[in-house]
Structure formats: C-alpha cells, structure tokens
Amino acid sequence: MERLEVMWQSRPGVLGWLMTTDHKRIGLLYFWTTLVLFGAGGVEALLMRTQLVKPNNSIVSPETYDQLFTLHGLTMIFFFIIPMTTGAFGNYLIPLMIGARDMAFPRMNALSYWIFLASAIFLYTSLALGMAPDAGWFDYVPLANKTFSPGHNIDFYALAVIFNSIASTLTAGQFIVTIFKSRAPGMSFNRMPLFCFAFLAASFGLLFALPPLSADNIFLFLDRNIGTHFFDPSHGGAALLWQHLFWIFGHPEVYILIVPAFGIATSIIPAFTQRKLVAFPLVAIAELLVVFIGFGVWAHHMFATGMSTTALIFFAGATSMVVIPSTIQVFAWCMSFVLGVARFKTPLLFIAGFIFMFVTGGLTGIMFVAIPFDQQVTDTYFIIAHFHYIIFGAAVFPIFGGMYYWFPKVTGKLYFERPGQISFWLIFAGTNLLFFPMHIVGLLGMPRRVYTYPSNLGWTTYNVIETIGGYLTLVGILVLFGNLVWSYFRAPAAGPDPWHGPTLEWTTSSPPPEYDFAVIPKVSSAYPNWDPEDREEDRRKLAGGVLVLDQGHEQVEVTPVDGWLSRVAEMPHESPWPVLLALCLSLVFVMLLLQHFAIAGLMAILCVLTLLGWHGKEPEE
Amino acid sequence: MRSGLLRGKRALALVPLALLLAGCGQKQNALAPASHQSSDIASLFWWMTGVAFLGLAVVVALLLLAWRRAGRRGAGGDTQGPKPGERVGWYVVVLGGVVVPILLISALFVIANLFVIKTTEAPAANSTKRTILVIGHQWWWEVRYPGTSAVTANEIHIPVRTPIRLEVRTSDVIHSFWVPELNRKIDTLPGTTNEIELYADAVGRYRGDCAEYCGLQHAHMGIWVYADPPATFARWLARQSRPAAAPSGSLAAAGRAAFLNGACAACHQIRGTSASSGVGPDLTHVADRKTLAALTIPNTPSYLHDWIRDSQRFKPGNQMPSFGQLSERRIRAITAYLEQLK
C-alpha cells in the first residue's frame, strides 16, 4: 500500500495539474471546463429566450442573435455534452468500472484535454472579437462561403470544429483501447458494465463520424481561403455535398450525445432498484446497434432538399429501424423499475425524468419517419422541441442524475436529498414548460432561427411560456449546483459505497486513491460489487500480495474478448509534453485563421519536434 | 382503476391541445389545412399524436407502478441469486420494444411514404395548365409566370382548385419555400430547380415563410399566396403582364424622372421604362401589392415613403440602403409615382 502511494503520487500544486496523467484529475479538469462552457451556452439560450419573449423585440440585434444560436448549438454539442459525458464521466469512471488504474494511454488522455481546452478558448475568442460564427451550427453553404459571410466568423467555425474533433478523436480512440485491454482479469465482454458498452458505442461513433466532419470543414476552409470550388455549383461543385458530409457526422452525433447518457442511466437504475437490469444482453446489443444504425439515417435531415423520393424512402426506412433498439432499452429500463425495488432518490428521479423526456422526444422523432410530415415541420420550432427533448431531456438529465449519483464517490461526501429532489422537480417542470409549447408554435408555422416574429400569428403566448420555462430551468440548475457545493462543505462523509452500487467503483474508497484499487479486483459477473465472495477474494489477494503490482507504475492488460490476463504493462508518469504539444497546435490554428500559412507550417514542424521530445523517453517494458 | 384514470387524464390532455391547434384560422397553421395535401399531412399528425400519447401513457404507467411499489419491504434482497421476474421483463421488452413498434411503424411507413408523399409532389410539367417560378433572394421572393411577362414579388396568385406546378430556385443562398396550409416545404438550392405542387381548396389568402435560415433577415421573408376564382386570376395575370402605366400629374412625373435617373433604377425594374435591373423586386405593379419588404410592413403611401427614406430601420441589414440623403420632395415624388403603379 505504501509503495503504491509512492508509485502513483502526483506532483503537488498547479504543475501537478498541468502535467497530470491521472484519469481522475483529467476527468475533473474536463468537468470544470465543460461546466463553464455549459454556463456560456445557457446564457446564450436565455438571451435568445429573452429576445423572443415578445414580438418585434430588440434586446439583441439580428447579428447578435445569429451568433447566439450558432454558438449555443456549437457549445452545447461540441463543448458541453460530448466532453462532459466522454471527457468528464468517461475519464473519471471507466477505469474505476473496469478495475484499471488508468487509461491505456494516459498522456494521450492529457493531450486530448489540453487540445479541447485550447479549442474552446479559440472558439470563444471569436465572441470576444465580435466575430463569432453566425451561419447556424450546421453552417450550410453557400451562406457560409466567402461571398455571403466575408468576415472571419466562419473561419473560426471551421477551425474550431476541426480543432475540437482532434480532442474527441483522441478520447474516442483511447476509450476503445482502454475498454478492450485494461479490464480487470475475469471481466469478459459479457460481464462488462452497460456503462462501458455505451461509451464503447459512443467512441466508435466518434471515431467514424468525425472524419467526414473534418473533411467537410477542410473543404469549407479551402473554398473560403484558397479559392477551391468544392461547394460551388457554378464551377462543378455541389452545395448539397456540405449537407451530406455534415449529416453523415451529424446524425451519428445525436446518438453519440445520448448513448453515454444511456450508460449513466443503466448505472443508476440497478443501484436504485437494487436489481440487475432486465434483459441485459438485449440492452448491451441495443446500445451498440443504435449507433451503428445511426450511420445510415443522415439524409432524414435533408428531406426538404428535393432529393429523389426513392432516396428519401431508403433513409426513412433506416430511420424507422433505429427506433427498435431505442424502444428495447426504454422497456428494459421501465421493467427494471417495476421488477426491482425502486428508491426514488434524486439520481433515480432524474433517470425517471430522462425516460419521460426521451420517450416524448423519441415519439416525435418517430413521426419523422413519415416523410411528408417531416417536410412539413422541419426547420420549424417543432424540430427544436423534438431535439431539445432528446438533447436536454435525454442527454443532460442523466448527466445531472450522474452528478448526484457519483458525487459521493468523487468528493467523499453525501449530498442533501431534499434540495436535490427540489432541483429535479424545478428542472423537470422548467424544461417541459420551455420545450413543450415549441411543438405547438412550430405547427402554427414559426420557423426556427428567426430573431423576431410578427405579433399577429398567434405565437406570442407560447413564446412567453417558453421563456418562463427557460428561467425556471435556470433556477433548478442553480439549486442543483448550489446543493452540490453546499453538500461538499457541509454534508456527512459518504463512505465507499453509500448506494450499494453494482459496479467496481463502489469497492474502492471515496474519493478513490490515485492508484484506484489497492489490488486488481476479481470479476465474475457484470455486477462485481454484488458478489461478496469476490470481494473477500480481493482482500485475501491484497494480504498475499497477488496482483497488487506495487513494484512499479503498472497495470494489467487482458485479452480483449475473454478478459484473460495477458501481461502487466508499465504506465507512463506525469509529463509536460501533452500541454506543450497542445500549445504548439493552438499556434498552428491561430496562424491558419490569420492566413499566415507559411508560419502555420513552421508551427506544425514545431508540433512534430514536440512529439519527438515526447517519445524521447518511453516507459520501459 | 388506476390505469383507467390515467387514460382518462391523457385523453383530457388532448382536448385543449386540439382546441389550441385547430382554432387559429388564417395564420400560418400546418393544422388548418386548405388543400388535400396539407390535410393528409395534418391527419397523419393527429393519428401519430394519438398513438404517441398512448405510448407515452404506457411508459408513464410503468414508472408510476414502480413509484407505487417503491415502499415495498425487503429492499436489497434482489441483488443476489436469480433475478426475480426476469422472464416477464423479457416478454414486455420484446413485445413493447420490438413487436409493437415494428407493426406500428410499418403501417405508418406505408401510409406516409408510399401514399401521402405522392400527393405532395409536383405534377409533371406537361400535365398542368400552369407553372409558376419562385426565386429566393436575400430576403424576398421573386415570382414569375412563365409564358407571360408578369413578374411580382412576395405574392403568388393562383387559380383556386387548380394544381399548379411550382418551381423554386435561388439567386444566392439556400431558402425554403413553405406555405403550411397548402403543402409541405421545399428548399431552393443553388444550381438546381426543385418543384412542388401548389393547390388551394378555397378562395383565400395563405401565409408562407422562408423556413431555411438564410442570413440576417431570415425572420422577415414572408410570402402571401392568393387563391382566386379562375376569372379573377386571369384578369390579375393580364394586368400584371402589362408594362407600367405612364405617370399622371406633375409630382408623379417628377418621381418617375427621379426614379429613372437616380439610384432606384440601379436595382429595380419597371417594365416599360429604362429601369431594367434584376437585383431588387420588380416594381412594375408595386402598388398592387399588399405589403413591402416580404411582409415586413403594409404597402401604404406613408410606409412606402418611410421605407425609401430609411429601409434599414424596418429591416436592418436588408440589401436596400436607406435613402435619407434624398430630399423630402424627391422621396414624396417617387412615392407618388410608385403609388400609381397599379
């Protein structure tokens, strides 16, 4: 134990955080950063809601409004939900759930965080300069090309998205390797927690969805700055190419956003119903399938572009198939509620709310299988209602639930239950007031992305209700975070396992030690913390020094499918290289923005030199 | 008992929704259809919404059942050994998650995508009496009647109960033509012509909007569709096809001269005069229109006057500069001239 402390100790102070490779610290860095960005995205949303509270309002100018909705979309998707679920929850929890001491590539993990941070600063610099992207988060050409958007706004968009996707790709790649290789011996694929299945699905999704997005943005950047004609029909390009490439990324993206939330839900449900999840294998397959099928449905975002009916019908068919894995999961969750012994504490309340919101948003989603109906309501507030039920209801509710659920693990403190439940009901009421009337106002003809609207079309009342709902949601979120902060200082200690949770993170202390587990745990089911004999075995192993690995900075590697011990790997220590490389890469992007392409090339060479330095000292085998 | 009550509540919840959605009259309401296409789409919506509420009710009922059972004794006993009720769980998951959705969605798929979709599509070019061309601009609609010289803006006139083939194009970015009471929407894409059917059951005026975000003034890009009796429509089209009338009175004549010699003619066309630019809306019969700037303001003499003087106040960022530097007399003269262009 003492030797483990020494081997895994981090450097104190700021330098320790800058150089850290500890997945928990990186998870916390992601958490705090994405929380700030969530605040920014939320302020943008509330400004828009305030502008729309009455017709012909002029709180913000049309220019500002366009920047607000573009930044709101970009921020919530690329800079809040993905980094919050993968970066914060995934980083902190996956090694703890699979019985590992760190991610498979700890320095790459650190690199992904620093690149993410740099890309966020890069994007928000545009706002400070008054040139935030303003062509919507899906940024259709020709509106986004140089003719119609001559400023730097769209260059910021293209570069920030490419920059950010580097971070997401690194995260995704290393989640896949970590989940395949770093599980505790005995955790074969079928004994892996559903949380890990979900993150595996999301990571594969990211890995395959991001390249088309990056290609799209590279084309856009070249069209704008070098004079190529990828999207220009008058020179043999195609404006629709942007949309195809964008949505080949964009629809899998939706599942990448919510599948980790499914993972959080399937962690909380067994813990608070004290029952193993109903139909576990079906749910695991469904989590993977939903992302896989999600790659075949992209053109349902383009039903009104005048593509041939045959093509539309194909994509509508794929869209209807994606319903099945979703309904499987919904009924599996609900039956677990019914068959278990549900304790409706705050985390489970958020999951119940999540199921309600996901089913509501899912049911309006099924309506888009009907092509003519989709063509009627697409680009109206009906769509806004639909995807906010999915993205806020189905992705963010579990994030909130997960914050409460793992709060004791991360801080070592319990949280206060009553304000927790109050925060749930405020957020639940607020979001429904905010988003439900959008269905109606969309059917009444209100298009999306209008900075104002006339008074005589019957839209005003609904917009007032929505704005009230928006502020109520804000109050709920403030209560939530107020409660967590207050609990951190005042609540009683939680102990290692306050919920009798099913997975491995509840077997170690709260907060977990830097080496996560004193001994690599034994696993013989998907609910290892509910196997008391195995935990006894761990104590015997620890006493006997079996798989304690205290002779170095080491962790085990297993065979990918069966989870047999294959070898013990030496893990890298703290390193200054990731943060330096991220810094050099930022310079590349700044120079590209300023169109100093030669200097950008020099900076790229600097990046390569940094990488050489990085690999100068590898951990010994 | 409990579930019966629940169903009752759900059904009640549908009533105000139906009232809210149906009672809105001549607005821009997808659920107040005025054509067979739009009415098919609205029926689809109501059926889907009904079934969706039932589905949501099932899920809510399961959650409430769990809530009621939450106080059950013996918590914690289920984590080991056999999973109680697993077989029932699988039955529900397979039935509710696989079998029922497949049946329902297959039915929806066939009805919507093999039948309803057909009715919304444009009739073949040689099967209709009339084709109308709509061209999206930042931020207004140009409307042309091929085969005639009629050109107008932000207003489409059609004969009632006559299928029209509507072709849409864009002169700049992507817009989306949408008149929800008549049909679903269709995007305008650069380099492409898209088409759709336009049909109205009853004489009346139907509001439409640009539905695809197209830049700064996307919010002010409306259009009216007037469905007229065929004879009225024919008279309207004949009038629109004529060149502009000569001005009567000295003020209007001065206005005409100011228009043709000043900046106006650089962007606008008035057929029958030397002004022939296609940048802004054709003004040959501008006084015949009900609104200015794509439904932004009413077309009255005082609004027209103010629009010329300070168009940026009404529609900031629109492509027409404010002409505050023109003398008041000139603006009055131009207004007087344009007011005569019936």
pLDDT in tens, A512-553: 999 999 999 999 999 999 999 999 999 999 999 888 888 888
The DSSP secondary-structure symbol of A133 reads: -
At A115, which amino acid appears?
I
Across A110-127, b (16+ Cβ under 10 Å) vs e yields bbbbbbbbbbbebbbebb
The span from the first CA to the last CA of chain B, in angstroms, equals 69
Which residues in chain B (295-314) have CB-CB distances under 8 A to chain A? 295
Asked if B317 reaches chain A (Cβ–Cβ under 8 Å), the answer is yes
Give the minimum alpha-carbon distance from A395 to chain B in angstroms, rounded to a whole number: 18
The pLDDT, as a whole number, for residue B80 is 67
Cβ distance A332 to B112 less than 8 Å, yes or no, reads no
Joined tokens for residue B288: 């015949």
Cβ distance B70 to A359 less than 8 Å, yes or no, reads no
The DSSP secondary-structure symbol of A12 reads: P
Closest by Cβ to A369, choosing from B28, B60, B109: B109
Beta carbons of A386 and A365 less than 8 angstroms apart: yes
At B145, which amino acid appears?
Y
Chain A residues with CB under 8 Å of B20 CB are 440
Beta carbons of B181 and B173 less than 8 angstroms apart: no
The pLDDT, as a whole number, for residue A207 is 96
Instruction: Give the pLDDT band of residue B20 (cuts 50, 70, 90).
Output: very low
Give the minimum alpha-carbon distance from A498 to chain B in angstroms, rounded to a whole number: 13
Give the minimum alpha-carbon distance from A70 to chain B in angstroms, rounded to a whole number: 11
At B109, which amino acid appears?
F
Q: How many other C-beta atoms can be found within 10 angstroms of the C-beta atom of residue A441?
A: 25
Give the minimum alpha-carbon distance from B59 to chain A in angstroms, rounded to a whole number: 7
Asked whether the predicted pLDDT for residue B81 surpasses 80, the reply is: no
Rounded CA-CA distance A328/A248 in Å is 25
Cβ distance A309 to B30 less than 8 Å, yes or no, reads no
Beta-strand pair A565-570/A554-558: antiparallel
Which residues in chain B (202-241) have CB-CB distances under 8 A to chain A? 207, 209-219
Closest by Cβ to A376, choosing from B41, B215, B295: B41
Q: State phi, psi for A324 to the nearest 5 degrees.
A: -60, -55
Give the minimum alpha-carbon distance from A540 to chain B in angstroms, rounded to a whole number: 22
- Residues whose CB falls within 8 Å of the CB of residue B132, separated by 6 or more in sequence, listed in order: B143, B144, B145, B146, B156, B158, B164, B165, B166, B167, B198
Asked if B40 reaches chain A (Cβ–Cβ under 8 Å), the answer is yes
Cβ distance B56 to A239 less than 8 Å, yes or no, reads no
Asked if B110 reaches chain A (Cβ–Cβ under 8 Å), the answer is no
Chain B residues with CB under 8 Å of A359 CB are 55-56, 59
Chain B residues with CB under 8 Å of A366 CB are 48, 52, 105, 108
CA dist B9 to A353, A594, B2, B57, B66, Å? 19, 60, 11, 10, 19
Q: Which residues of chain A have pLDDT under 70?
A: 618-621
pLDDT digits (tens, 9 = 90+) for B127-184: 888 999 999 999 999 999 999 999 999 999 999 999 999 999 999 999 999 999 999 9
Cβ distance A62 to B113 less than 8 Å, yes or no, reads no
Instruction: Give the pLDDT band of residue B26 (cuts 50, 70, 90).
Output: low
Asked if B185 reaches chain A (Cβ–Cβ under 8 Å), the answer is yes
Cβ distance A320 to B216 less than 8 Å, yes or no, reads no
Beta carbons of B122 and A308 less than 8 angstroms apart: no
Closest by Cβ to B189, choosing from A240, A352, A379: A240
Rounded CA-CA distance A315/A262 in Å is 24
Asked if B55 reaches chain A (Cβ–Cβ under 8 Å), the answer is yes
The pLDDT, as a whole number, for residue A230 is 96
The pLDDT, as a whole number, for residue B4 is 36
Q: pTM for the whole thing?
A: 0.94
Across A138-147, b (16+ Cβ under 10 Å) vs e yields bbbbbbbbee
Instruction: Give the pLDDT band of residue B72 (cuts 50, 70, 90).
Output: low
Chain A residue closest to B195 (CA)?
A306
Closest by Cβ to B70, choosing from A135, A344, A375: A344
Chain A residues with CB under 8 Å of B172 CB are 142, 147-148
Chain A residues with CB under 8 Å of B219 CB are 62, 450-453
Residues in chain B: 342
Strand partners, B247: none
Cβ distance B80 to A320 less than 8 Å, yes or no, reads no
Chain A residues with CB under 8 Å of B89 CB are 278-279, 332, 335-336, 339
Q: Which of B10, B117, B169, B291 to mutate to test the interface with A (most CBs of A within 10 A)?
A: B117
Give the minimum alpha-carbon distance from A460 to chain B in angstroms, rounded to a whole number: 13
Beta-strand pair B222-228/B194-198: unpaired
Hunting for tokens 């009471």 — which residue is that? B181
Instruction: Give the pLDDT band of residue B10 (cuts 50, 70, 90).
Output: very low
Q: State phi, psi for B295 to the nearest 5 degrees.
A: 70, 20
The pLDDT, as a whole number, for residue B22 is 43
Average pLDDT over residues B30-54: 95
Q: Cα B26 to the chain's mean position, in Å?
A: 13
Cβ distance B210 to A447 less than 8 Å, yes or no, reads yes
Average pLDDT over residues B105-114: 93
Chain A residues with CB under 8 Å of B69 CB are 338, 341-342
The pLDDT, as a whole number, for residue B129 is 80
Chain B residues with CB under 8 Å of A135 CB are 213
3-state secondary structure of A405: helix
**Closest by CA position to A237, among listed A139, A135, A142:** A142
Regarding an ipTM greater than 0.90, the answer is yes
pLDDT digits (tens, 9 = 90+) for B252-274: 999 999 999 999 999 999 999 99
Q: Which of A69, A285, A339 to mutate to test the interface with B (most CBs of B within 10 A)?
A: A339
Asked if B57 reaches chain A (Cβ–Cβ under 8 Å), the answer is no
Chain B residues with CB under 8 Å of A276 CB are 78-79, 83
Chain B residues with CB under 8 Å of A275 CB are 78-79, 83-84
Cβ distance B80 to A530 less than 8 Å, yes or no, reads yes
Task: Number of A to B CB contacts under 8 A, please give it.
Answer: 293
Give the minimum alpha-carbon distance from B21 to chain A in angstroms, rounded to a whole number: 7
Give the minimum alpha-carbon distance from B75 to chain A in angstroms, rounded to a whole number: 6
Beta carbons of A524 and A19 less than 8 angstroms apart: no
Cβ distance B93 to A279 less than 8 Å, yes or no, reads yes
Average pLDDT over residues B56-83: 77
Average pLDDT over residues B2-20: 43
pLDDT digits (tens, 9 = 90+) for A295-351: 999 999 999 999 999 999 999 999 999 999 999 999 999 999 998 888 999 999 999
Rounded CA-CA distance A158/A173 in Å is 22
Cβ distance B173 to A142 less than 8 Å, yes or no, reads yes
**Residue A619, CA atoms < 13 Å, CB-side half-sphere:** 17
Which helix (H) or strand (E) element contains residue A320? helix A309-321
Asked whether the predicted pLDDT for residue B24 surpasses 60, the reply is: no
Cβ distance A376 to B98 less than 8 Å, yes or no, reads no
Give the minimum alpha-carbon distance from A508 to chain B in angstroms, rounded to a whole number: 19
Chain B residues with CB under 8 Å of A355 CB are 59, 63
Q: What HEC string does A22-61 produce? A: CHHHHHHHHHHHHHHHHHHHHHHHHHHHHHCCCCCCCCCC
Query: Is the bond leading into B139 cis (omega within 30 degrees of zero)?
Result: yes
Give the minimum alpha-carbon distance from B334 to chain A in angstroms, rounded to a whole number: 28
Rounded CA-CA distance B6/B57 in Å is 8
Closest by Cβ to B89, choosing from A147, A339, A369: A339
Cβ distance A378 to B211 less than 8 Å, yes or no, reads yes
Asked if B13 reaches chain A (Cβ–Cβ under 8 Å), the answer is no
The pLDDT, as a whole number, for residue A615 is 87
